Amino acid sequence: MRMVGIIDYGMGNLMSVQHALNFLGAEVKVCENPGSLSDIDRIVLPGVGAFGDCIKNLRQMGFVEPLGDMVMRDGVPILGICLGMQVMARRSFEGGEHEGLGWIDGDVIRIRPEDTSLRVPHIGWNEVHYDSESPLFARLPDICDFYFVHSYFVHCNDPGDVEATCYYGGTITAAIRKKNVFATQFHPEKSQDYGLRILENFLKWEP
């Protein structure tokens, strides 16, 4: 049984993620402080809201250093969701410039569709095109729809970090993978059966 720790820093859709993981048979612990991280072997970093508030809360609650040690030094698998993906980047330009966790070499930038009739934020279902060799998209159709809610996305400086993309007036990074770090801009917990498959694959993933 996997012990999955969901990081609670005050800005995540924790209940939906927890219910989805419980449905898949995972043992889940909501981690409200760094001391609760000791006995987990998977991490989920959710998030809804603004980048600046996210990194501020993570710092103030003391999560940044222990999470960095677990992820970057110890190789604990982590899944970032939406804002939880963006905060893994080097910096963000949402509401000014903010330093991120720096686990992914990329910048968080605003969606600027070439088609000006497309509204921002990007809300709703969108086709996702993924790396066919990806273990996180295993046993899924070649093209899948997932649910998005965001105005910013991670522009990766290394194309090799991009695991999946979608199109919304331009190409948008839909998922990233680097060693033991996996993250999605879409919400797997809101994406019905395909989203559950993503979470199931994460639980089985051995990077």
Torsion angle in degrees (nearest 10) through CA of 187, 33, 181, 19: -30
Residues annotated as catalytic are 82, 187, 189
Question: What single string gives the DSSP state of each residue in 22-33?
Answer: HHTT-EEEEE-S
Which phi and psi angles does 47 have, rounded to 5°?
A: 175, 140
Amino acid found at 5? G
Q: Please, what is the angle between helix 14-23 and helix 192-204, to 10°?
A: 70
Contacts for 88-96: CB closer than 8 Å, 24+ residues apart: 88/45, 88/154, 88/176, 88/181, 88/183, 89/154, 92/51, 92/52, 92/152, 93/152, 94/50, 94/51, 94/52, 94/151, 94/152, 95/50, 95/51, 95/52, 96/52
Distance of CA 182 to the CA centre of its chain: 7
CA distance linking residue 67 with residue 78, whole number of Å:
10
